[in-house]
């Protein structure tokens, strides 16, 4: 199953309701700091919206709720890996994407046979404070050589203008957050993203 090259991340199902009709085919729901009932409700709404629009939903972090909701994909950050029950995730038949930032993390993740590997931040990011300033395009190229056939996701500081360079450097997929959510016209921006990545 080939993953779409454009991979936006949203923190609420309202974003999916707006963006899926524009042709988004791969999307991550990243709900942070919300009580469990709200998380589960958001996952269920997002799952139904993605089914309706023929899109793939990736649930960030909340792996048990994603299993319970019958979702196909989970994304785990490095901190999440320490808590997650990988056997349960695999037993449920779920596909797994994982964040990496350095060599040790990549080695750890490759041993898990992930369904995609994310490298970030490729460019400086305003989304979260990280000890890694930016990885740069040469690093994308190096990571792709190391992950081989596993899809590589470039994330961090992504803008439409940078997409082509990241894909040419070896990323299979470009993941984006604030370039859409902080844009004055998010719908127009999503259309631009779809154009440059397809």
Give domain limits for the chain.
Answer: 6-197
Q: How far apart are the first and last CA of the chain?
A: 16
**What tokens does 174 get?**
């470009």
Residue 69: band (very low, low, confident or very high) from pLDDT cuts 50, 70, 90: very high
Q: Which of 143, 191, 185 is nearest to 166 (CA)?
A: 143
Instruction: Please tell me the pTM assigned to this model.
Output: 0.96
From 3.40.190.10, 3.20.20.70, 3.30.390.10, 1.10.3720.10, which CATH number describes the 6-197 domain? 3.20.20.70
Q: Is the confidence at residue 74, as pLDDT, over 90? A: yes
Q: Which of 139, 145, 151 is nearest to 26 (CA)?
A: 151
Q: List the Cα angle 136/138/144 in 5-degree steps.
A: 110
pLDDT digits (tens, 9 = 90+) for 129-142: 666 678 899 999 99
């Amino acid at each position: 199953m080939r993953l779409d090259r454009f991979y936006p991340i949203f923190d609420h199902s309202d974003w999916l309701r707006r963006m899926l009709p524009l042709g988004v085919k791969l999307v991550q729901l990243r709900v942070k700091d919300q009580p469990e009932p709200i998380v589960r409700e958001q996952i269920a709404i997002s799952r139904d919206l993605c089914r309706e629009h023929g899109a793939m939903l990736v649930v960030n972090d909340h792996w048990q709720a994603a299993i319970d909701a019958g979702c196909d994909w989970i994304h785990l950050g490095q901190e999440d890996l320490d808590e997650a029950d990988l056997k349960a995730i695999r037993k449920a038949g779920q596909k797994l994407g994982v964040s990496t930032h350095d060599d040790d993390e990549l080695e750890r993740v490759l041993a898990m046979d992930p369904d995609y590997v994310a490298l970030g931040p490729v460019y400086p990011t305003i989304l979260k404070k990280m000890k890694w300033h930016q990885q740069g395009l040469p690093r994308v190229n190096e990571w792709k050589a190391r992950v081989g056939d596993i899809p590589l996701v470039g994330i961090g500081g992504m803008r439409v203008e940078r997409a082509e360079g990241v894909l040419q450097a070896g990323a299979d997929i470009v993941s984006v957050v604030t370039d859409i959510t902080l844009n004055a016209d998010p719908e127009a921006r999503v259309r631009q993203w779809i154009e440059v990545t397809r």
